[in-house]
Structure formats: structure tokens, C-alpha cells
Structure 1
Amino acid sequence: MTALALTGSPLWYASRAGGTLALLLLTATVVLGIAAGGRAAPRRIGRFEIGLLHRNLSVLTLVFLIAHVVTAVLDPFVHLGWTVTVVPFGASYRPLWLGLGTVALDLLLAVLVTSAVRSRIGARRWKAVHLLAYAAWPVALFHGVGTGTDTRLSLQLWLYAGCLMSVVGAVWWRLAKSGPGRVGGRLVAAVTAAAVPVLLAAFLAAGPLQPGWAQRAAATIALHLGGGR
């Protein structure tokens, strides 16, 4: 564990806890949406109950995500402004990795807003935007791995591995249960499910698991600002 993790402020711990819980809840939401969709939907549980659970998990995800964002901004160590919570890659502290978190938040907010006006925009448009929640999950995962100062901890690595395997397993379950048709979509899903674990493992081996990753990740500040602080 780094010195920051040992001497971090209560806001740092709250931000990390909120982010971790948000990732777990987002993973559960995505897994439920994938595994229970289409022909893979369990027959013993009604679609209403599944939909209700899915919505409740989504709301809880946003609650902890907002807690994660607010505590990160209030933490005096990183000096973040409120603008970077909605405008990606504008932070002076690890702009790339924090920017990924902002992208994930924006995608989830788009889903929330369109869900509130679903009757006005129509089910087809709402469904198209709703798919952004699935795109937000890998972005959020790489955000947590890249910017988290506790990524090298065994517990955190197992947590990331559990989230990854849960989503990949859900995708393969859905593919196994799906009927004929939509070959292109199934092929994209299969390739993506196979590629994400490989990319994450390669990234971990070359980046966060190597000594000095915190300094290298922060080095993008100089590039971002056109020079040093």
C-alpha cells in the first residue's frame, strides 16, 4: 500500500470506498441486464421483478457514484474542480484516468436522463441510449485500475477480477442461450468479451503492477498542461 493510502484523509477513503461500491453495483446491474435479457430471462422470476431489481441497482450505483465524485472533489489533495466531473480529461491530476471516470459518469447520466423522459423519446431511442450503460462498465473498470493508488493490493485485484469474470461470464451465458439471428451482434459481443480481459491483464502487467506507476500516471499532468506544474 502506498504512503497516500496510509496517510490519506477521510475524504480519500470515502472516495475510494464510494468508487469501489459503485463499480460493484454497476457490475451487478450489467450482469443482471445481460444474463436476464432476451431468451436467457429466467422463467421462475417475472420480468417485473427483474426490472425492479435492475432499476434499484441502477439507482444505488448512481448514489455511490455521486458520493465517490463529491468526496473526490472535496478532497484537498487532488484539487479537482466541479467542471471535471462532467467534462472529461480536463483535470490537472491524472487527466487520462480521471477522464475515463468522467466519461463513465456522463454515459450513466445519459441513461438516467433518457429514462426519465422515456415516454417522450420512444422505446427505440431509449433502448439505444440505454446500451451506453454497458459501455460505461469497461470504462469505469479501467478508470479504477488506472487511477486507484490501491490497485496493487491483492484484495483490490481480486475485486477487479471478480467484476471482470462476472460480466464476461454473463456475456457468454447470454450468447449460449440466444437463438439464431443477429450473427454480427453476437460476434461483436464474443470478441469484446474475450478482448477486455486480455487488454486489462496486459495493462496491469505493463502499468499499475509495475513500480513507479503512480509517478508515471501523474506524468501526464505535464503533457496535459504543456509543462510542469
Structure 2
Amino acid sequence: MVIDPIHTIAAAVGFASMFFLWLAIILGLSLARGWTMTSMKHSSLLALHGSMALIGLTLGIVHGFAQLAPADKTVHLIDVVVPFTNAVDPFGIGVGVIALEIMTALAISMTMQKLMGFHRWRALHSLAYAAYTLATGHILISGSETGGPVITVIVLIPWLIMVGLWMTGTASKEDKEGMADKFTTRLRGKLTTVQVDPIVCARFGFCEQEAPEVFQLRGDGQLAYQTVVADNQVDAAVAAVRACPARAISIEMGTSASVGMSGLRAAMQEQAAAPAPQTNGNYPTNEFSRIRTNGRR
């Protein structure tokens, strides 16, 4: 049997694409769950996540169009653009095309985060797990190199790791949201204050979309926020805590008091040794976003 060198190169590029896309998804999970926020800067992790995704997507596109090069011409241009049109392997190639198109849409959506809003953007971004699943199916169905059990297991292991981490993170997120709902009820009628860590804050503006009365992303790129939250703004403030991908916002509940609105305070980008001065309590430590009761978590 004569092995087409072009097919071999295209297959190698496809496997490399899957590796980088898997890394991007795992890094994305770390960003969403805040697993590495204490050991790695959010901006560094976000840059690494974007780089892995871009490399993986680029290699995936090269892999797809490289199928047009072999002399047997079993794949045509329409087959790598429109799903399920290939005459030889419509389903296997079709799911691969859908996976690549979803990932391309997700890459484009990165430029429209603020326009879409955090929740819509995050819901769209969750399709990355489905896209990787489809890409795994594409390899198992169409990949001539995956006929043996060893290669099949090697292909399935990253997918199983991704699913396991996603399920673990989802359960943890539901527990945290349930706890946050209980705290929201307890915050009512109390003196509720907001603090933003300027070292961690990445100025995405998702907090402003959730609670525009509390947070404002200024024209100079700095985040301004109300240090004291009115009772009717507690729900929005808690939603902003959940939405913040950098885990930079904390909410503190004090004793019962009448709530007066303070002026906007800016979370300036400064060095850790000289944090922005605050007037409502001590400046929070550089941890995950949290809701605190009387100074205790």
C-alpha cells in the first residue's frame, strides 16, 4: 500500500491542531473557574489561552484545506465548507467541518465580547466543548490512523479529561451560585460595600453590563465603582461578582445601617505595593471574588 505523503502531513497537522485546541479549552476552563488565579496572572493566562486557540484553529484550517491536495481527489472545496456533502465520507468529514466552523465563530466572537454582553458571549463560548467533541468524532470516524485500539484510546483520553473537568467545574459553580443567592438575601437591609482589586481587574467591562449603576468603565480605561451599594442594587452587584472573569470584585456585608450612596471611586492600575486608597474598610487581599459577612467568609 502506497502512503500519500500529503495525507500523512495533513493528518499530523490535524493531530497537532487537536492538541492545541485541547490546551486552549483546559486553559479556558481554568479562566472560567478561577483555578489558577493565585498562581498565575489572569492576563497571562488569557493571552496563553488565546494563543493556543489561534494556533489550533489555524492548524485545523490548514488540515481541512490540505485534503484538497491528494491526487485521488476524494475531497472537494465544497466538502470543506458545506457539511455532509462529501460523497465518500459525508458524516465523518461533515462533523469535522461543523467543528471547524464553530471554532471559527468563537474566535470571531472574541472581538465582540462587550457588544454581545457577558452572558450571551459565555453561552456562545460554551460551544467550544461541543466543537471539540465533534472534532474527536471526526478523527475516530474519518481518521485512517485511528483503526487500532491504542490510537483510539489516545484520542479519547483528552476528551474524557475535558468532560470530567467541565462536569466538576459545573457542579462547583452551581454550589457557589446557590450560596451567593443565600448571601443576596442576607445582604438586604445591611450596609453593603464593594471593593475592586486594581491589580487583578482586567477592565473587561462585564461588571458594568451587569450593574451599570454600580460600575462604570471610564473613557481612560479605568474602572469606577460605587463603594456603597443601595439595597435595590444588591442583586445586580452580586451578578457582577459572578460575571467578573478576573475574580477582582468582592462584596462585604456590615451591620444594619441606612445606606447612603458614595461617590465613584476608580480602581486604578497600580503596583501591588501601592494599592488604590479606599475609604470603606481595609483593602481586600488578592483572592477570588467573594461575598463576605462581617469580615468573615
Same fold (TM over 0.5): yes
Q: Does 1:48 align with 2:43?
A: yes
Superposition deviation, residue 96 in structure 1: 0.5
Identify which of 138, 144, 149 aligns with 2:144.
Answer: 149
Q: Does 1:174 align with 2:164?
A: no
Which protein has the bigger helix share? 1
- Native 8 Å contact 1:101 1:139 kept in 2: yes
Paired with 1:172 and 1:127, the residues of 2 have a C-alpha distance of 16
Q: Does 1:132 align with 2:127?
A: yes
Partner residue, 2:78: 83
Q: Does 1:20 align with 2:20?
A: no
Bigger RCO of structures 1 and 2 (CA < 8 A, at least 6 apart): 1
Superposition deviation, residue 135 in structure 1: 1.2
Partner residue, 1:160: 155
Paired with 2:104 and 2:27, the residues of 1 have a C-alpha distance of 19
1:171-195 per-residue CA deviation (whole Å, 9 max, x = no partner) reads 2442465461568xxxxxxxxxxxx
1:115-147 per-residue CA deviation (whole Å, 9 max, x = no partner) reads 233343333332222222121011100110011
Which protein has the bigger strand share? 2
Question: Any idea what SS the aligned residue of 1:91 has?
Answer: coil
Question: Any idea what SS the aligned residue of 1:40 has?
Answer: coil
Question: Any idea what SS the aligned residue of 2:100 has?
Answer: helix
Q: Given the two structures, how large is their TM-score scaled by the length of structure 2?
A: 0.54
Paired with 2:94 and 2:75, the residues of 1 have a C-alpha distance of 12
- Native 8 Å contact 2:103 2:131 kept in 1: yes
Paired with 1:31 and 1:117, the residues of 2 have a C-alpha distance of 22
1:193-218 per-residue CA deviation (whole Å, 9 max, x = no partner) reads xxxxxxxxxxxxxxxxxxxxxxxxxx
Paired with 1:120 and 1:179, the residues of 2 have a C-alpha distance of 26
Q: Rg bigger for which structure? A: 2
Within 5 Å, which residues of 2 pair with 1:1-229?
3=1, 7-153=2-148, 155-175=150-170, 177-178=172-173, 180=175
Superposition deviation, residue 153 in structure 1: 3.5
Over 6 Å off, 4+ runs: none
- Native 8 Å contact 1:35 1:171 kept in 2: no
Q: 1:86–1:118: structure 2 CA closer, same or farther, 3 Å change rule? A: farther
Question: Any idea what SS the aligned residue of 1:74 has?
Answer: coil
Paired with 1:135 and 1:162, the residues of 2 have a C-alpha distance of 16
Paired with 1:35 and 1:96, the residues of 2 have a C-alpha distance of 33
Superposition deviation, residue 74 in structure 1: 1.7
Q: Which moved more, 1:140-149 or 1:68-77?
A: 68-77
Question: Any idea what SS the aligned residue of 1:75 has?
Answer: coil
Equivalent position amino acid for 2:142 in 1? T
Q: Given the two structures, how large is their TM-score scaled by the length of structure 1?
A: 0.69
Q: 1:133–1:10: structure 2 CA closer, same or farther, 3 Å change rule? A: same
Paired with 1:48 and 1:166, the residues of 2 have a C-alpha distance of 25
1:80-138 per-residue CA deviation (whole Å, 9 max, x = no partner) reads 22222221101112001100000101101111222233343333332222222121011
Paired with 2:177 and 2:3, the residues of 1 have a C-alpha distance of 50
What 5-or-longer segments of structure 2 have no aligned partner?
Answer: 179-297
